């Protein structure tokens, strides 16, 4: 996980989907629904590694190994 004093890294959708181990279509769906934080620059969607780490901390469901179904990611 990224530390607060480290510079943030922006991930492409492909990099973020590999990091999260989810399908690219799922990632785009979650981003457009506001379930996961993302930045839209023109037609590209980027993902802050720091925001993804925070999102994982808030939304990981350790008992089941999955994610909560809440919509809480977009700022």
User: Per-residue pLDDT for 71 more than 80?
Assistant: no
CA 12 from chain centre, in angstroms, equals: 11
CA distance 40 to 17: 16
Query: For residue 11, which of 39, 32, 30 has the smallest C-alpha distance?
Result: 39
pLDDT given for residue 64 in this prediction: 58
Q: What is the average per-residue pLDDT within 71-75?
A: 49
Contact between 44 and 8 under an 8 Å Cβ cutoff? The reply is no
pTM: 0.73
In the three-class reduction of DSSP (H, G, I as helix; E, B as strand; rest coil), residue 75 is classed as coil
Q: Give 15-69 pLDDT, tens digit per residue.
A: 999 999 999 999 999 999 999 999 999 999 999 999 999 999 998 876 655 665 5
The helix/strand/coil state of 72 is coil
Domain range annotation of the chain: 10-61
Q: Distance (Å, rounded) from C-alpha 73 to C-alpha 29?
A: 13
């Amino acid at each position: 996980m990224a530390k607060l004093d480290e510079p943030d890294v922006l991930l492409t959708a492909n990099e973020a989907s590999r990091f999260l181990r989810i399908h690219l279509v799922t990632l785009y769906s979650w981003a457009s629904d506001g379930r996961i934080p993302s930045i839209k620059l023109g037609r590209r969607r980027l993902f802050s590694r720091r925001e993804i780490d925070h999102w994982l901390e808030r939304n990981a469901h350790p008992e089941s190994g999955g994610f909560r179904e809440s919509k809480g990611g977009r700022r």
